[in-house]
Structure 1
């Protein structure tokens, strides 16, 4: 298994406060996408971080060795629509309470 902390970087620092209607719809799709990955066991947690210098999203992934983290996150609707990108940070391991 491979583990990652993935950080969703929005297209602008005030994104949550200034989203267009179209971006708001993409964010709903983004949440559904991440919830599906959570249900499938690829993500163990995800959520927004309210950083005063600009919010962002965090997801903790635990994926099979033959899976590609960039391929997975590139399918996120918010990314597919060009509204931000992910940083991928490998982790040595990920302990989770069951």
Structure 2
């Protein structure tokens, strides 16, 4: 279906921040499980549609990931992204972009 008035979501890109430890896997990064809890809490509240890490071609997890937020506007989505404790601590950087979705089911 093509919907000229399709919904807008907000895509949140996570990348390693200044506190990322390059020789440690993602799940051993300091505070990583704080990130998981934060994302899970918002997922349970319905504010996050999808979220997960990027994958390497070899099948391993890459450093970084993405989440798709339902939010009222860019300001609210940016606040949701930047309030993540791992963004506040410097483990992750975050970029938030609006995503208009005219093709959806």
TM-score (norm 2): 0.70
The 5 A counterparts of 1:1-98 are 2-11=8-17, 14=22, 17=25, 23=30, 26-51=31-56, 54-65=62-73, 68-93=76-101
Q: Is the 8 A contact 2:52 2:67 kept in 1?
A: yes
SS of residue in 1 equivalent to 2:91: coil
Decide which structure has the larger Cα Rg and report it: 2
User: Structure 1: any 5+ residue segments left out of the alignment?
Assistant: none
TM-score (norm 1): 0.74
Query: How far apart, CA to CA, are the structure 2 residues paired with 1:90 and 1:66?
Result: 7
Deviation at 1:51, TM superposition (A): 3.3
Structure showing the higher helix proportion among its residues: 1
User: Structure 2: any 5+ residue segments left out of the alignment?
Assistant: 1-6
Deviation at 1:84, TM superposition (A): 2.1
Q: Is the 8 A contact 1:14 1:55 kept in 2?
A: no
Alpha-carbon RMSD: 3.0
Aligned residue pairs total 93
